[in-house]
Structure 1
Amino acid sequence: MEKKRVAVPLVCHGHSRPVVDLYYSPVTPDGFFLISASKDSTPMLRNGETGDWVGTFDGHKGAVWSCCLDTNALRAASGSADFTAKIWDALTGSELHSFEHKHIVRACAFSEDTNFLLTGGVEKVLRIYDLNRPDAPPREVDKSPGSIRTVAWLHSDQTILSSCTDLGGVRLWDVRTGNIERTLETKLPVTSAEVSQDGRYITTADGFSVKFWDANHFGLVKSYDMPCTVESASLEPKYGVKFVAGGEDMWIRVFDFHTGEEIACNKGHHGPVHCVRFSPGGETYASGSEDGTIRIWQTGSLTHEDNNEAMTTNGSIGKVKVSAEEVSRKIEGFHIADEANAIEKENLGDA
């Protein structure tokens, strides 16, 4: 019987309370970046490859439930229990704009063209802010049947996806009309909804199942029962042969996309897993937990068959290398990232 190799993740300390959302930027000329949201009110930016702390966005006065980066990783956004969504300069850490809401903001997402920010939350209202005119009133779509948990853009910003905290299903909205065009039915509330990098699939986690939907024709492609209640799932972006899921049992499981067979089970977190996300190249995936840590796991090498298929389809496989100098250039002037704060955050994470 073959002995399974134990995966040893990179452990990223710094948050003093649970990590509830993670988001990877696409690959930029400076590499790729990882932003995390936590109940400690301070979103953090990291080098996506090494997990090294870059800086902390300081300004929220309540738990931060959602975070994201724009396409070029030049701006960050966050949604908070302090009734605001904020836009940040990801190079300097400074706050660019704060959008006031009337209740908790649970979700936020930059449009693909980076001109708009979408928010949703307890108010049951989707808001679209024009970032070229941040002082202008947002467009509001107030027909959500429940408190909004997740949001995303798809179809080149022509469609909006949302799920609710207390109702099953994923709703797909026509941006032009503001109407729900279709609902992807699930029995339990969808706690995680991700549009694949190639725009082909919508990956959802709803209680004891992970589902994959055709993002263009909206049919259910695959549905797999999970061994525990899962809160988040993510599809490997480059080849689409694996997916990861994490939830209440504190483990991160890797599955075969085509068969649903469990490939690996990674143990290390000391609390339920709230979010899992693949890096843009698929070499690693990150998990955020109730224990306040982020762990970055190696995907593991592709099988010979997968490798041949991927080579045929995509050409040579390359890994993005990010030098310390490149990262330093990107974060130069990040005004709150001094060494003493970094050490203090590390200590808080260990507590």
Structure 2
Amino acid sequence: LALDFSPDGKFLISSGGDNLVWMWDVRQAAPARRFTGSTQELSSCRFSPTGNELVAGSTDGTFRMWEAGGRSIHISRHHASDVTACAYSARGTHILTSGLDGSICVVDSFDLCEVGRWVHHSAVTCMDVASVKGGLVVFGDAIGELHVLDVVRGVCGSWHLM
């Protein structure tokens, strides 16, 4: 299950094993919309910074993009296995996805062309954009390490438990 609030806090999206993304009206505590199209479990979901679009990552290696009004925009495959997380850059110009294949992909949010890829030595299990400028990505891997990737400079550092 994954959850994300809209930038204005009025809506919450959820995704999970029912292959759907649900948008919830927070004030009404009721479903506002249902996003369909996936044939596999959805492992992640995220609103764009404007709240006008949303993405969801799937266990089939794809991510789907919808307008917040419900219209499906695109389906894209950039991973050989499960997408574990998806996120927008701070300005919404890029979508980042991570996967059990060990890769983090950066995709242009307008034409959905891949503009960057980093391959890690183990499965990437979680990821988020950590910088206001969108240049830092924090991700965790299958062996329990936390990494910080500067996507502008291509530098990666790690935090390890001692």
Give the TM-score taking structure 1 as reference length.
Answer: 0.44
Unaligned runs of 5+ in 1: 1-19, 188-351
For 1:178 and 1:80, how far apart are their aligned partners in 2? 26
Deviation at 1:161, TM superposition (A): 0.7
1:50 partnered with 2:14: no
Distance in structure 1 (CA, Å) of the matches to 2:67 and 2:44: 17
Asked if 1:115 corresponds to 2:93, the answer is yes
Q: Matched residue of 2:50: which SS?
A: coil
Equivalence for 2:54: 76
More strand by share: 2
Identity %: 22
Q: Secondary structure at the match of 1:168?
A: coil
Residue 4 of structure 2 corresponds to which residue in structure 1?
A: 23
Structure 2: which amino acid aligns with 1:37?
A: S
Name the residue aligned to 1:184: 159
Q: What is the distance in 2 between the residues matched to 1:128 and 1:38?
A: 23
8 Å contact from structure 1 (residues 80, 106) kept in 2 = yes
> What do residues 182-237 of structure 1 show as CA deviations (whole Å, max 9, x unaligned)?
222247xxxxxxxxxxxxxxxxxxxxxxxxxxxxxxxxxxxxxxxxxxxxxxxxxx
The answer to whether the 8 Å contact 1:60/1:82 transfers is: no
| 1:83 maps to amino acid | G
Residues 63-87 of structure 1 show CA distances to partners (whole Å, capped at 9, x for unaligned) of 1000010122110100001220111
Query: What is the Cα deviation at residue 169 of structure 1?
Result: 2.2
- The structure richer in helix per residue is 1
Residues 1:33 and 2:20 are matched in the alignment: no
Match of 1:97 in 2: 74
**2:3·2:15 contact (CA, 8 Å) conserved in 1?**
yes
How far 1:108 sits from its partner (Å)?
0.3
Compute the TM-score of the two structures, normalised by the length of structure 2: 0.92
Alignment match, 1:169: 145
Matched residue count: 160
Aligned to 1:85: 63
Q: Deviations over 1:68-115 (max 9, x none)?
A: 101221101000012201111111x12111111321111100111011
* Counterpart code for 1:106: T
In structure 2, what is the Cα distance between the partners aligned to 1:95 and 1:80? Answer: 15
CA shift for structure 1 position 148: 1.1
Distance (Å, rounded) in 1 between the aligned partners of 2:81 and 2:31: 31
Contact 2:40 2:60 in 1 (8 A): yes
2:118 counterpart residue number: 141
Q: Quick one: distance in 1 between partners of 2:75 and 2:161?
A: 34
Residues 252-293 of structure 1, C-alpha deviations (whole Å, 9 max, x = no match): xxxxxxxxxxxxxxxxxxxxxxxxxxxxxxxxxxxxxxxxxx
Which of 128, 135, 138 is 1:158 aligned to? Answer: 135
| Residue identity opposite 2:37 in structure 1 | G
* TM superposition shift of 1:138: 3.6
Superposed CA RMSD:
1.5
Q: Which amino acid aligns with 2:121?
A: P
* Whole-angstrom distance in 1 between the partners of 2:3 and 2:53: 15
For residue 232 of structure 1, what is the aligned residue in structure 2? Answer: none
CA distance in 1 between partners of 2:31 and 2:61 (Å): 27
Unaligned runs of 5+ in 2: none
CA deviations 1:293-331 (Å, max 9, x no partner) are: xxxxxxxxxxxxxxxxxxxxxxxxxxxxxxxxxxxxxxx
| Structure number, greater radius of gyration | 1
- Return the alpha-carbon distance in structure 2 between the equivalents of residues 170 and 177 of structure 1: 18
2:105 and 2:114 in contact (8 A); partners too = no
SS of the residue corresponding to residue 20 of structure 2 reads coil
Which residue in the other structure is 2:39 paired with? 61
Q: Distance in 1 between matches of 2:129 and 2:30?
A: 29
Aligned with 1:68: secondary structure?
A: strand
Aligned partners of 2:126 and 2:28: how far apart in 1?
27
